[in-house]
Every structure is written in C-alpha cells, then in structure tokens.
C-alpha cells in the first residue's frame, strides 16, 4: 500500500477500487489486473477492469458508483468448518455422547451464522449508554443496553451456555461440551462472553459452598435455561488502590445489621457487566469499634443483588462508564456502594480462598476467548486467501503467505488442544473422577494456559489483520473489533507477570509435587508419540526442552527465590510450550 499524504494533495481521487487513497495519476499507472480479486470469470474480470479504467478517467463528480474490487471473506457453519474441533470430539467423546453433541453443535453452528453473528455486530454498533439523571433532575443511574445485548442474554439461557456444565447430562464430559459451545459462541457474542464468564464463576463458587438455602434461588437462576429466570453475575474485586493486589487494595467495609445481613460501603473502580443481576464481592467486616483486619485475612466474600424487585439499585450509585479500548459492547462502571445490602457467604476472613473457584473458571473462560479469537481471525484470513488475487494469483498460491498462515494455525491448534486438556481435567474433578495427579496438573495448567494464550491471541490477531493488507485496518470490516477485544485477554483476571508468580506459588505450595506430575505426564505423552517415526524429530526437541527446564530448576535450587521470580515469565512460557507440544 502506498502511504501518501492524500489529504494534502488537490489532485487526489478516492479510489475504493484499490482499497486506499492514491493521487489520480498514480491510479492510472497501476496494473489493475494485479489487484483484481474476482476468480475464474475472465470475461467478468475484463468488464470490471474496463469499468475501473473508465471511472478513473471520469471526473470525480460524474462517478455514480465506486466499487471495491475485493471479495469479502465469508465463513459458513463454524462447527462444520472446524476440522480440528470435530476431530478432537470424535477421538475423545464416547460414541453416544458424540452423536448427541454433534447434532446440537451443527444446529448451534447454523444459529450462530444466521442469527447470532448479526446480533453481535449490533452490540458493537450500539454500546451501552449511561443516563445519570432524568428530565426532572432525579438521579436514576440508568445503564441503557441495546436490544441485541438483551437478546444475547436470552440466547445464552436457551442454549444452556452455563446450565450445561452444572446439569452434567454427559457426566465428566459436560464441562468440555460447555467449553466447546462457548468457544463457538465467543467471537459472535458481541462481548456477552464476559458476563457469562463471571456467571459461570459465581455458580461455581455457590456450588462449592454446598448451595446453601439462602443462595439456592441465585444458583438456580444462574444455571437456568429459561430466559425469563436467567441471571448473570458480576465480580466486583478491583478498587482504587489495587487490581490484582486485592489483599492491600480492598477498602470496602461491611457493617453487620441486627437481622444478620450486612451493609457495604466502598468504591468499586472497575466492575464489568455492571448491568448484571447480582454479584460476588470482597469486603472487610468492621468490628464493634469500627476497626477492620488488614491484608487478605481481613477479606470476606459477599453476595448481593444489584437491584431490588422493582428494579431500583441496591443503594448503589453509578459514577460513570469506563471508556475502554475494547469490549465496548459491555457496560463497565465505577460504582459507589452506600450501604448496599449484602449476605456474607464465606467464613469471616476466608473471602480470597472462597472466591478462588471463581477466578479459576473466569481464567478458563479467558482461554476460551483467546482460542476463539485466534480461530475466527484465521478462518477469515484463510477464506480471504482463497478469494483475493495479488500479483497475478490467489494469495493461497503464494508460498510465503501460506507459511505465515501455517504458523498462525500451529499457534491456534496448540492453544485449542491445551484448552481441551484443561476442561477435560476440570470435568473429571467436578464429577469426583480426577486423581490427585489430575488435580495438581489442573492447578498448574490454568494460570499457564491463561497467561500464554492471552499473549498468543493478540499476536495472532495482529498477524491475521496484516494478511488482509489495508482492508484489515478498516473499521467496518469488523477485524479491528476482534483485535481490540483480544488485547484485554492478557490483562483481565491477572496480567502475565501476576499469573507467572501464581505458577511459582503452585510449585511452592505443593513442595515440588506439581512439577513432578507435570514432567511425568509429559513423559507419558512422549512415550506414546515415540512409536511414530514422523514424530521423532518433534519428540526429540520436546525432550531437549524438558532437559533444559530440569537443568534450570536444579541450578536455581529451592533457596533462589529472586532467580525464580526473575525467570517466572520465561519459565511459565516454557511450561506452556512443552505441554502444548
């Protein structure tokens, strides 16, 4: 693409045929055939070229039509086109489960294509709007979301995107099946995958507490298939003084009431899906003298309804909506809690431990979103390569272009298989079928996968956007939306460095057991692969990587805390690459 200062030139023409702006004399010099994208219709190509040349010779004011000679990539049923997904399910699922799952996913793929994708784009075009006061000066703090966003909530219930994991119709495979549906839904959801992540996390926390009677209604609504009953949940943890450092950053105070409930007072600085029905949040319980225990020991977990039965906010004031780089479809707000009525659901001082289940689930959803965005961008790029002609042949016939796409494909496939391994292990754990080794491995792989796929997704999205040339940079293609929304994946639910340190904590708390399980699991997989001659080079490279990792751990030793912290990110990347391989 020519980057010329067309806004400074009086001899400029708006040449959409070329997909960018060029001075008119340069346009006339270009070989139109080299950029034409119509394939297999030589007569039509000739007519189009003639029309382009005639348009270029015509004064700008006389042009009635200006056509972009590039074909829009069109994908079909996401499930049917995802050969890796279908291959994985065929390999792993029991035959009876596969038969039922296949039929539902094919139906869901058609619904995504015909109904859900247009709604997702509508959510992007109509972001939430905050109205603080009504026409008469009364404070209303109303967050208006578009009809498409509301419809996404209904569809989420109808499709059982949360319910599927908790009904356990397919025993230990239910969680994996839910993850597959979320993976297909994510890139078409118009950002609704984010509230679903927190909803799933809230349901997991309540289930882990034994679904106490006071929370049964909330659990039933979070896991309902009825759009009239279905609730979504928020996760209010970030405050003014901290993001990941909740132990020192949480200032919200809980004051006990005579009826046993609590009133919360504080400022929640970053609350995603502020239009949700309920939330789980952390606060410090004040004693009789008004004093609060500091640090993580002072944090307790609370459940609260965002609005009452009449739709009025629960003593909550909306300060403003966040002006974010991406995920603009979703309302993220700053909230003041002025005596919000809440229920204590953890033991006092055990809030961080109780909410850990929610964090694990939302981190897995983060991985789902990362893998889904990679698959979506690559699918569009692949379709474009089959249609776009440059330098006399289709992009798919250019070896360098295909090498670039192949490298993206390897990243996406590896991330997908890592995701499937995690949800497989989670399904075993939730149905009491997981061994101790399975549980240790799951504890390690969740932060590893979250931090690594978050980085992968943004890199693949940028590379895929570049494969479209200048068209990839155009807002109305929808490609920049995917890129913007992808960038949050390495930040939300813990940055790369924070999660790398979490990986080290998992090693320390298990006294080395986690690492031993990781290495033995990888060795078993390599033994299975050793029987294939064509995999021999890959097996050898992986074994060399394991050797290097083991040597590093031995050299660092148990006393070298600073060395391990400095190496935490690279160490976590190595774990991800080895296990993915």
Q: What is the DSSP string of 352-386?
A: HHHHHHHHHHHHHHHHHHHHHHHHHHHHHHHHHHT
Whether the CA torsion 43, 44, 45, 48 is positive or negative: it is positive
Determine the pLDDT at residue 71.
79
Give the model's pLDDT for residue 37. Answer: 43
Res 46: pLDDT: 56
Tokens of 79: 């499930």
pTM: 0.88
From the CB of residue 289, how many other CB atoms can be counted at a distance below 10 Å?
Answer: 5
pLDDT digits (tens, 9 = 90+) for 255-289: 999 999 999 999 999 999 999 999 999 999 999 99
> What's residue 34's pLDDT?
37
Confidence at residue 59, expressed as pLDDT on a 0 to 100 scale: 55
Say which residues have a Cβ less than 8 Å from residue 254's Cβ, sequence separation at least 6. 262, 263, 264, 265, 283, 284, 285, 286, 300, 302, 342, 344
pLDDT tens readout for residues 386-395: 999 999 999 9
Q: Look at residue 454 and give its three-state secondary structure.
A: helix
Q: CA 46, 52, 58 angle in degrees (round to 5)? A: 135
Q: Are 253 and 284 in contact (CB under 8 A)?
A: yes
pLDDT, residue 2, reads 34
Coil, helix or strand at residue 472? helix
Average pLDDT, the chain: 89
* Percent with pLDDT over 70 in the chain: 88
What is the token pair recorded at 298? 């002072």
253 closest CA partner among 269, 242, 268, 243: 268
Burial class (CB in 10 A: 0-12, 13-18, 19+), 322: middle
User: Could you give the count of Cα atoms lying within 13 Å of 472 in the half-sphere of its Cβ?
Assistant: 19
Q: What is the pLDDT of residue 331?
A: 96
Rounded distance between C-alpha atoms, residue 364 and residue 109, angstroms: 22
pLDDT of residue 54: 58
Length of the chain: 581
Least confident of 54-63, 358-367, 445-454: 54-63
Q: Which residue, chain included where needed, has tokens 């629960």?
A: 314
pLDDT for residue 384: 96
The pLDDT, as a whole number, for residue 245 is: 85
Closest C-alpha among 195, 208, 223, 218 to residue 333 = 195
Element of type H or E holding 271: strand 262-271
Radius of gyration of the chain (CA): 27
| Residue 68: predicted pLDDT | 57
Given a contact cutoff of 8 angstroms between Cβ atoms, the answer to whether 28 and 54 are in contact is: no
* Alpha-carbon span 98 to 86, nearest angstrom: 10
Q: What share of the chain is helix, strand, coil (3-state, %, to 5)?
A: 60, 15, 30
Q: Read off the pLDDT of residues 127-182 as tens digits, 9 standing for 90 and up.
A: 999 999 999 999 999 999 999 999 999 999 999 999 999 999 999 999 999 999 99
- 362 closest CA partner among 492, 236, 458: 492
Nearest residue to 414 (alpha-carbon basis) of 178, 579, 179, 187: 579
**pLDDT at residue number 240:** 86
Distance CA 77, CA 75 (A): 7
Going by their DSSP bridges, the two strands 316-321 and 333-344 should be labelled as antiparallel
The residues that bridge with 283 in the sheet, in sequence order, are: 300
The single-letter DSSP state of residue 115 is I
pLDDT of res. 26 = 41
Question: Which tokens is 476 given?
Answer: 């109305």
pLDDT digits (tens, 9 = 90+) for 5-58: 333 333 333 333 333 334 444 444 333 333 344 444 455 545 655 554 555 555
Across the range 196-225, mean pLDDT stands at 98
Q: How confident is the model at residue 62 (pLDDT cuts 50, 70, 90)?
A: low
């Amino acid at each position: 693409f020519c980057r010329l200062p067309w806004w400074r030139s009086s001899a400029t023409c708006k040449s959409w045929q070329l997909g960018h702006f060029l001075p008119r004399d340069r346009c006339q010099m270009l070989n139109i055939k080299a950029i034409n994208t119509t394939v297999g219709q030589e007569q039509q190509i000739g007519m189009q070229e003639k029309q382009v040349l005639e348009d270029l010779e015509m004064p700008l004011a006389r042009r009635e039509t200006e056509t972009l000679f590039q074909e829009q990539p069109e994908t079909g049923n996401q499930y049917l086109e995802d050969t890796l997904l279908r291959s994985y399910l065929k390999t792993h699922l029991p035959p009876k489960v596969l038969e039922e799952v296949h039929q539902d996913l094919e139906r869901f793929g058609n619904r995504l294509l015909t109904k859900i994708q247009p709604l997702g784009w509508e959510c992007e075009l109509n972001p939430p709007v905050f109205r603080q006061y009504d026409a008469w000066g009364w404070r209303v703090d109303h967050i208006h979301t578009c009809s498409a966003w509301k419809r996404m909530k209904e569809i989420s219930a109808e499709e059982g995107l949360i319910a599927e994991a908790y009904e356990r119709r397919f025993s230990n495979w239910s969680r994996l099946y839910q993850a597959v549906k979320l993976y297909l839904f994510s890139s078409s959801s118009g950002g609704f995958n984010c509230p679903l992540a927190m909803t799933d996390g809230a349901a997991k926390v309540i289930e882990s507490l034994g679904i106490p009677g006071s929370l049964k209604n909330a659990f039933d609504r979070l896991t309902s298939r009825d759009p009239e009953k279905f609730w979504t949940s928020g996760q209010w943890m970030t405050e003014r003084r901290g993001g990941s450092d909740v132990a020192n950053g949480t200032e919200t105070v809980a004051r006990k009431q005579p009826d046993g409930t609590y009133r919360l007072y504080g400022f929640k600085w970053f609350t995603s899906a502020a239009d949700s029905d309920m939330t789980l949040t952390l606060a410090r319980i004040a004693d009789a003298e008004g004093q609060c225990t500091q640090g993580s020991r002072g944090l307790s977990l609370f459940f609260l309804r965002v609005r009452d039965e009449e739709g009025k906010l629960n003593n909550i004031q909306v300060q403003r909506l966040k002006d974010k780089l991406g995920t603009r479809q979703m309302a993220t707000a700053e909230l003041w809690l002025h005596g919000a009525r809440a229920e204590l659901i953890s033991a006092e001082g055990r809030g961080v431990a109780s909410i850990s289940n929610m964090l694990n689930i939302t981190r897995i959803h983060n991985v789902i979103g990362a893998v889904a965005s990679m698959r979506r961008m690559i699918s569009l790029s692949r379709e474009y390569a089959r249609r776009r002609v440059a330098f006399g042949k289709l992009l798919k016939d250019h070896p360098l272009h295909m090498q670039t796409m192949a490298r993206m494909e390897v990243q996406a496939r590896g991330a997908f298989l890592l995701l499937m391994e995690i949800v497989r292990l989670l399904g075993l754990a939730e149905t009491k079928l997981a061994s101790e080794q399975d549980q240790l491995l799951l504890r390690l792989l969740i932060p590893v996968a979250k931090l690594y796929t978050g980085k992968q997704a943004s890199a693949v999205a940028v590379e895929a956007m570049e494969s479209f040339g200048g068209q990839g940079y155009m807002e109305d293609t929808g490609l920049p939306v995917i890129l913007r929304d992808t960038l949050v994946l390495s930040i939300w639910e813990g940055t790369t460095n924070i999660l790398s340190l979490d990986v080290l904590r998992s090693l320390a708390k298990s006294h080395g057991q986690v690492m031993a399980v990781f290495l033995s699991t990888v060795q078993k997989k390599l033994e299975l692969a050793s029987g294939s001659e064509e995999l021999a080079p890959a097996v050898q490279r992986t074994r060399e990587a394991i050797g290097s990792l083991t040597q590093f751990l031995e050299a660092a030793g148990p006393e070298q805390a600073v060395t391990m912290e400095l190496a935490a990110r690279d160490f976590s990347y190595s774990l991800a690459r080895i296990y993915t391989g």
